[in-house]
């Protein structure tokens, strides 16, 4: 009831508020816009002039955050695109990167890629040692946020929200685990990536991790069952607002070379030449192409993942059953004549 009354009051007074807005101080304008964005009847195009006339850098940065909450923010993407060209005021550029709407737009992706080319790719650890609190650190944050935003846009493409279907979780590691496991360092030449969740599954299954490259190879060559689940044994923190699961670090140290940990790379599954059963659940997988290498696979469950291309299943000659419930499927016609059973 309180929410309805608030909405009614906002709707009733919005015309007068908008009329008086030019007479207010910049700080008051930001406060008023933070309230107006809660009313569906007010559009960003009605108040974006405030930003264009504003002088106070701090107020402009705060205002961008409220602008991003308007329902027509995407329709005003040009405002953010122009700010992504900024190169002198790095605080404003950084704020523009953080607040720009996540949308599959070619110009936006080009801007983010250009920013990453121009700014430092130093790790946070290196920045803290070399030049803390300097422009170097600002450049790091610009680069890192541009990279994160580009990744968020890509994830939106491969893992879109589907009505009536639980959204698969994106996987992350804490900063400290990223440092300890050397995920921010350049991987070894001709290295073999291991996804940390796969390492966790192996540790939980065998109660320890392989200690040498020979041991890792032995485990991968003999493994017949692999279950990748999100539960108390693999997840230390859930961030439901962004549908992100933070994994428990599989170890305190990186694996023996040539192996190295890599988020987003699942290709090691394709090296498991005796794998007969694979289960992945509630997870956004960056690339399912590893499936084409799983020629011994008999049972496959991809329940509630972002798997979509059913044509990949035709390249699994020994497949007997597949679970594709709560998946956003494409090319389902190929399933009409397959010999394996499908649970949809």
Give 25-41 pLDDT, tens digit per residue. 999 999 999 989 988 88
Give 68-86 pLDDT, tens digit per residue. 999 999 999 999 999 999 9
pLDDT exceeds cutoff 60 at 319? yes
pLDDT exceeds cutoff 60 at 2? no
What pLDDT is recorded for position 14? Answer: 83
Q: Identify each DSSP E strand in the chain by its residue range.
A: 170-172, 192-194, 225-228, 235-239, 244-247, 259-261, 277-280, 299-301, 321-323, 341-343
What pLDDT is recorded for position 93? Answer: 97
- 37 occurs within a structural domain: yes
Specify whether 188 is located in the same domain as 248: yes
Specify whether 134 is located in the same domain as 59: no
What pLDDT is recorded for position 342? Answer: 97
Specify whether 182 is located in the same domain as 63: no
Specify whether 318 is located in the same domain as 300: yes
Specify whether 142 is located in the same domain as 201: no
pLDDT grade, residue 63 (50/70/90)?
very high
Q: Which domain holds residue 232?
A: 170-343
Q: For residue 96, what are its two tokens?
A: 């523009």
Give 164-180 pLDDT, tens digit per residue. 889 999 999 998 999 99
Specify whether 192 is located in the same domain as 335: yes
Residue partners of 201: CB distance under 8 A and separation at least 6: 226, 227, 228, 229, 234
- 165 occurs within a structural domain: no
Mean pLDDT of the chain: 92
pLDDT grade, residue 126 (50/70/90)?
low
Specify whether 188 is located in the same domain as 336: yes
Q: Which of 114, 135, 158 is the last residue of a domain?
A: 158
Specify whether 278 is located in the same domain as 323: yes
Specify whether 175 is located in the same domain as 316: yes
Q: For residue 274, what are its two tokens?
A: 């005796």
Contact criterion met (CB below 8 Å) for 91 and 145: no
Distances (CA, A) of 87 to 84, 112, 114: 8, 13, 12
What pLDDT is recorded for position 1? Answer: 37
Specify whether 210 is located in the same domain as 283: yes
pLDDT exceeds cutoff 50 at 202? yes
- 309 occurs within a structural domain: yes
Q: For residue 328, what are its two tokens?
A: 């956003």
Contact criterion met (CB below 8 Å) for 129 and 244: no
pLDDT grade, residue 163 (50/70/90)?
confident
Burial class (CB in 10 A: 0-12, 13-18, 19+), 173: buried
- 164 occurs within a structural domain: no
If you average pLDDT over each of 6-15, 31-40, 126-135, which comes out highest?
31-40
- 240 occurs within a structural domain: yes
Q: What is the DSSP letter of 248?
A: P
pLDDT exceeds cutoff 90 at 224? yes
Burial class (CB in 10 A: 0-12, 13-18, 19+), 87: exposed
Q: Averaged over 300-324, what is the pLDDT?
A: 97
Specify whether 282 is located in the same domain as 312: yes
What pLDDT is recorded for position 177? Answer: 95
Q: Averaged over 288-298, what is the pLDDT?
A: 97
**Nearest-angstrom CA–CA distance, 1 and 40:** 17
pLDDT grade, residue 10 (50/70/90)?
low
pLDDT exceeds cutoff 80 at 88? yes
End-to-end CA distance of the chain: 42
Q: Count the domains in the chain.
A: 3
Q: For residue 64, what are its two tokens?
A: 């961008």
Q: For residue 287, what are its two tokens?
A: 């690339």
Contact criterion met (CB below 8 Å) for 171 and 263: yes
**Nearest-angstrom CA–CA distance, 292 and 69:** 42
- 303 occurs within a structural domain: yes
- 195 occurs within a structural domain: yes
- 114 occurs within a structural domain: yes
pLDDT exceeds cutoff 50 at 22? yes
pLDDT exceeds cutoff 60 at 195? yes
Q: Which of 108, 125, 158 is the last residue of a domain?
A: 158
From 195, 175, 180, 191, select the one nearest 253 (Cα to Cα).
180
Specify whether 277 is located in the same domain as 290: yes
What pLDDT is recorded for position 141? Answer: 87
**Nearest-angstrom CA–CA distance, 199 and 260:** 11
């Amino acid at each position: 009831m309180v929410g309805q009354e608030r909405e009614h009051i906002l709707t009733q007074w919005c015309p007068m508020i908008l009329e008086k807005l030019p007479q207010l101080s910049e700080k008051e304008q930001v406060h008023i816009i933070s309230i107006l964005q809660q009313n569906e009847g007010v559009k960003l195009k009605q108040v974006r002039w405030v930003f264009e006339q504003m002088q106070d850098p701090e107020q402009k940065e705060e205002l961008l955050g409220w602008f991003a909450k308007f329902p027509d923010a995407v329709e005003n993407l040009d405002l953010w695109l122009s700010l992504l060209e900024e190169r002198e005021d790095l605080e404003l550029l950084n704020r523009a990167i953080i607040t720009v709407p996540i949308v599959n737009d070619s110009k936006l992706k080009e801007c983010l890629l250009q920013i990453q080319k121009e700014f430092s790719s130093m790790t946070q650890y290196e920045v803290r040692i070399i030049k803390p609190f300097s422009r170097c650190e600002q450049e790091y944050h610009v680069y890192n946020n541009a990279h994160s935003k580009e990744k968020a846009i890509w994830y939106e493409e491969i893992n879109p929200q589907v009505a009536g279907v639980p959204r698969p979780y994106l996987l992350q590691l804490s900063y400290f685990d990223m440092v300890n496991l050397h995920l921010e360092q350049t991987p070894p030449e001709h290295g073999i990536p291991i996804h940390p969740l796969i390492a966790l599954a192996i540790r939980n299954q065998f109660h320890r991790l392989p200690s040498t490259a020979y041991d890792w190879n032995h485990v991968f060559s003999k493994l017949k069952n692999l279950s990748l689940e999100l539960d108390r044994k693999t997840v230390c923190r859930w961030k439901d607002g962004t549908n992100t699961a933070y994994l428990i670090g599989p170890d305190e140290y990186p694996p023996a070379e040539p192996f190295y940990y890599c988020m987003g790379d699942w290709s090691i599954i394709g090296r498991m030449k005796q794998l007969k059963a694979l289960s992945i659940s509630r997870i956004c997988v960056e690339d399912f192409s590893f499936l084409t290498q799983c020629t011994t696979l008999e049972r496959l469950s991809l329940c509630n993942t972002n798997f979509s291309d059913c044509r990949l299943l035709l390249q699994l000659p020994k497949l007997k059953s597949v679970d594709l419930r709560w998946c956003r499927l494409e090319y389902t016609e190929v399933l009409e004549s397959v010999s394996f059973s499908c649970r949809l």
